[in-house]
Chain A
């Protein structure tokens, strides 16, 4: 018996060693890889269509807490529909020859809100005409994806780059479904719907990339990189956009930036030819619920250390982080008061304009 137990221990050690060893080998192989050159663009303009994914933080948080906390499956929570907004951005890339090309980043949540925002920004016409060439889905979170019908009804065959780490519910909604969730009394509530099945191509992105280089080059100077990270509400993986802007440097554009803004720049430093940190736009997933933690101070110090020259943030970054970062000398791009003219505004918006918010834009 003792001998058998001993042999079992040895076998187990072997399994552990082989698993951990393969991870190290993969990292070492990655380190030896040649740096990727994905071209250059002349400039990138980001129009903030909507960064207001929900209007009242407290209601959103209560929905999460009441139905199981951060690890809960987002499709099992009867979200307060009236509180839902959505995250979308329009990206205009100017190529080196001056030609402009457009990309839609994410598709929001509440269809009423998404439709309202789309109409305000002429998105339906751009989708119908093909001026918007494709959509990057940053991740499968409700506020970035559940408004998919609002996009598909104008362009059902749009090409979508989404993380490969999706769940059956995500695919059901993409292909057309009405989904509900039960409240604590057992009553069913509508949580999302899509009556226009997606007929176009879904590019399922993974960390290997399309040619094993870790990226999907969607245009010259524009790359999508998938980071396979676990995220709250049972979601996994995020697609991030990298731009190589001529004479300026690397720009990241994110939905929520769950992997961490500095990790994105760290990846670029290790893997991209001619890396020079320049700017970022998007949710940075820091003080999501306007709370604080000493590690958020770490991020401010880190951003300064990485020498990012232009930081445009909103959404899950948290107003207090943006304000504190700006006060600490981080080059935060200020927004305007245009968002106040929209039919709804977030309860956490302040007069500091530390966020680039609805209706604002930034050019890198």
Chain B
């Protein structure tokens, strides 16, 4: 999970730019095919498309971070085709996404356990507004929340615990043990942070299944956007440590490269605290721009939107960090990790601001088919951002940078 080479003076930044432009175009094409209102599948309802994208990104992380490509080789052997491996891994991720979404959640959990995970179970239960579109939006929202918790635990786990405590076991033991351990914590995180809000997506609220969202009194909203904002803000720090700071400062807690219990614990605690601080800063920033929110306010006045927007901004920052790490060789690469970390973080923030300006510019009317303006209730940039992150992960981890990366293992087009 940590950056692989300390200094690469021969890195070709022009090729990095070509790479990211190519990836942008692929994301644009995929958006048009799957999400755009004039496209083919038109999945951006928005929750249905949103949840599918999040599950796809989760499937990628299962393959790359939890299974560490098991049963495939961790890296493509020199005598084998990276193209074939990339295609195989991508197909595996898509199949896994479809399996998780439609078999595990819709057919298994939704039909044999929790009604709201399957639209057909919601319709069968016959509650208010129980028709396919609304039911699918509710189940999509629940699935999305589950995998938001999954992303948080998985990324933070990888940045902290790593292979601990199974580092001496073989790859299959590591993979399966890590998967079930992460799932254990995901279930707890989902239950505490999201389940209550999902129970209140019905009329009347399912109060015997879920408590009233406990954050209402201080967040001024019962929306689970509160939890989403908190998790994404915490994730930014986990990603920053992992990608931009080369594992520091948590790396200092491990005797050698890799995770251990202490490091994992500190990553969870510190990134959560920093996440709360970042959330607070972003909310203060929004007050500066849009004035105080108030309970029941809509668009930019709504506390629920402010939390969602904090998540969206964090998403932009994370995307920017991914781009800097994967396409600009984590510039700069001086001998001082502290200088590197500070400059990279600043660059990621600047990059995130540029992505923000792009998303809310009129350019996205053309690129994404969105209506100009901010806080549209049926639009969240997180969908496009996570799709972008997914394609970057597919390109850099599954295809190892192919075809623009000429020399595998060092840097783009060294």
Contacts and interface: CB of A to CB of B under 8 A. Distances in A.
Q: Do A and B come from one complex?
A: yes
Interface of A: 1-2, 5, 9, 12-13, 15-16, 19-20, 23-24, 27, 58, 61-62, 64-65, 67-73, 76, 228-232, 234-236, 258-263, 266, 285, 287, 289-295, 297-303, 305-306, 320, 324
Contact of B222 (A236, A294, A324): A294
Interface string B339-369: 0000000010010011011000000000001
A285 B138 CA distance: 19
| Majority secondary structure, B binding face | loop
B205 to A, nearest CB: 7
A263 B354 contact: no
Contacts of B301: 260, 262-263, 266
B44 A71 contact: yes
A15 B357 contact: yes
A113 B43 CA distance: 33
* Most chain A beta carbons < 10 A, residue from B42, B45, B203: B203
A69 B383 CA distance: 15
Nearest to B219: A298
B11 to A, nearest CB: 9
A69 B46 contact: yes
A5 B351 CA distance: 12
Contact of A305 (B288, B295, B372): B295
Nearest to A236: B371
A288 B331 CA distance: 49
Interface in B72-113: none
For the complex of A and B, the 8 pairs showing the least CB-CB separation, nearest first, are: A302-B296, A260-B298, A294-B222, A230-B373, A70-B378, A68-B37, A230-B376, A230-B371
B289 A68 contact: no
* Most chain A beta carbons < 10 A, residue from B371, B375, B379: B371
B134 interface: yes
B354 A295 contact: no
A260 B295 CA distance: 11
Given A70-B46, A229-B373, A266-B297, A298 B222 contact: yes
B371 A234 contact: yes
B134 A291 contact: yes
A294 B37 contact: no
A266 B299 CA distance: 13
B180 interface: no
Interface string B125-138: 00011010110011
A302 B353 contact: no
B221 interface: yes
A62 B133 contact: yes
B350 A291 contact: no
Given A68-B38, A73-B37, A291-B134, A260 B299 contact: yes
10 contacts: A64-B133, A70-B46, A71-B369, A235-B371, A262-B298, A292-B200, A293-B200, A294-B223, A295-B304, A298-B302
B370 interface: yes
A62 B42 CA distance: 13
A300 B347 CA distance: 43
Nearest to A290: B129
Interface residues on B, range: 35 or more
Given A13-B350, A70-B45, A260-B299, 14 more contacts: A16-B357, A27-B289, A61-B134, A71-B378, A73-B38, A76-B38, A231-B376, A236-B373, A260-B301, A262-B301, A263-B299, A292-B203, A298-B296, A302-B295
Given A69-B378, A236-B372, A13 B353 contact: yes
Interface string B180-221: 000000000000000001001111010000000100100011
B247 interface: no
Contacts of B303: 298
Given A230-B372, A291-B134, A291-B203, A262 B222 contact: no
B326 to A, nearest CB: 16
B295 A298 contact: yes
A260 B328 CA distance: 43
B338 interface: no
B374 interface: yes
Nearest to B47: A69
A12 B349 CA distance: 11
A262 B294 contact: yes
A290 B45 contact: no
A324 B128 CA distance: 13
Contacts of A62: 133
Contacts of A236: 371-373
Contacts of B28: none
B267 to A, nearest CB: 29
Interface in B12-64: 13, 36-39, 42-46
A65 B134 CA distance: 10
Contact of B374 (A13, A230, A301): A230
B351 to A, nearest CB: 8
A229 B379 CA distance: 12
B298 A2 contact: no
A262 B378 contact: no
Contact of B13 (A1, A9, A13): A1
A271 to B, nearest CB: 12
A71 B371 contact: yes
B331 A5 contact: yes
Contacts of A64: 133
A285 B43 CA distance: 23
Contacts of A228: 373
A293 B199 CA distance: 9
Given A20-B289, A71-B44, A76-B38, A300 B296 contact: yes
A239 to B, nearest CB: 16
B291 interface: yes
Nearest to B346: A9
A236 to B, nearest CB: 5
A294 to B, nearest CB: 3
A278 to B, nearest CB: 17
Contacts of B353: 12-13, 16
Given A19-B357, A260-B297, A266-B294, A293 B370 contact: no
A286 to B, nearest CB: 9
A295 B238 CA distance: 30
B129 A71 contact: no
Contacts of B294: 262, 266, 302, 305
A9 B354 CA distance: 10
* Most chain A beta carbons < 10 A, residue from B295, B332, B347: B295
B200 A9 contact: no
A266 B42 CA distance: 36
Nearest to A62: B133
Nearest to A10: B350
Contacts of A324: 203
